Amino acid sequence: MKISSWNVRGLSAFDKICLVKRALTKMNSDVFLLQETKIKAEKVDEFKKYFYKWGGHFQDSMGSLGCLGILWKSDSIEVRCIASCDFWMACSIKCKRTNLCFPLFNIYGPIRTEDKLRVWNKITIQANLGELGKVIMARDFNAILDFNDKAGGLRKPTKVMEDFREFVYNCRLVDVIPKKWKFTWNNHRVNFSNISELLDKFFVGEWWVLSNHTLETSIEPHCGLDHLPITLAISHEQVDCKSYFKFLNMWWQGPSLLDLLRSWWAVRNIFSGSPNFKFVKRTQFLKCKLKEWNKHTFKNVFAKKERIESIMEELNNLIIANGMTNLEYEAEKLLKKKYAEILTREEVYWKDKSRENWIAEGDSNTIFFHSSV
């Protein structure tokens, strides 16, 4: 499923309508959100004729501030408008192919600071009335979270940035950062007067990230306007329910595992959201790091065992044929030490597999040990 959002800065002119139609065809989105359409109520029906294959809903224009609109593919998407207010629109979206339902907010942030606070408070109240975890917000908020979303101009922290971060936290939203390109708006000035910002963004509720959905946003190159359209692609990963992660006690036999765990857990500023959400994502990050470490560093204990046994056999044949020198003696001593470590790891591994907690290390050769695995 694909959702696109674009601040079109007015759709009264015929060339702008043609621009949006080309974008719809190129992006092939299921839902298309528009900000600042500036369409009067009496001209909405006339405008919809240009998009007769699409369903549509539009606010009445508020003078020069424009209004919000939503277009959707009627054959695959159902849309119901839940609430509509100055600067924002809330809809219920249902995908006919998957029966997936979620609330979608189309937002245009006002310019004045006091209006921003009023709008964010209303959106927070409305979002908490429904399934907050499933919410998706597409916006031109006219605000940035931090200076990673801006290039050029003054870089002084403002009250608006602080209030905006608080709004994102209260709604438990996750920022879906674009994979390529960085900014959606540019003031088209040169040298030190040039300013670029990531004003257009997608935020999603925590449910989307925790429910094995893949979320990718991309900024679409498009000429003619100072804002670029942005697209959110949603896909669902099929996860084998029988597959689960289990920490293996034999990993403690590896060198410096505790130090590695501390360093991985201490990684900062890679997760955004509520404390509970960040804890879950941090544990998932730790799991991925452990799997990667096991594959590339700790490696397969049985393959290691076979490799050392093969080297030991070659060394024994060499000793039998030519006798033992100091070099062979040291090599055999080192191999025996490594082989003993591998056997200890293997024993701990089979102990975990047996699920018998009372079996002590050193019992790996008993009949009961093998029958309980």
Domains and CATH numbers, the chain: 2-236 (3.60.10.10), 249-298 (no CATH), 301-372 (no CATH)
Contacts of 21 (CB under 8 A, 6+ apart): 50, 51
Rounded Cα–Cα distance for residues 176 and 233 (Å): 11
What token pair was written down for 112? Answer: 């004045």
pLDDT of residue 30: 93
Q: What residues of the chain score a pLDDT lower than 70? A: 61-66, 223-224, 237-244, 253-255, 268-274, 297-301, 348-373
Burial (CB < 10 A; 0-12, 13-18, 19+), residue 31, is buried
Rounded Cα–Cα distance for residues 122 and 253 (Å): 55
| Biggest distance spanned by C-alpha atoms of the chain | 102
**62, 119 in Cβ contact below 8 A?**
no
Q: What is the pTM (predicted TM-score) of this model?
A: 0.68
Burial (CB < 10 A; 0-12, 13-18, 19+), residue 108, is buried
CA distances (Å), origin 361, targets 47, 126, 253: 77, 59, 13
pLDDT of residue 309: 82
**276, 210 in Cβ contact below 8 A?**
no
Query: What are the contacts of 69-75 at 24+ separation with CB within 8 A?
Result: 69/11, 69/33, 69/34, 69/37, 69/39, 69/106, 70/31, 70/32, 70/33, 70/34, 70/106, 71/24, 71/31, 71/32, 71/34, 72/30, 72/31, 72/32, 73/30, 73/31
pLDDT of residue 197: 86
Rounded to the nearest 10°, the torsion over CA 72, 74, 75, 79 is 80
pLDDT of residue 79: 93
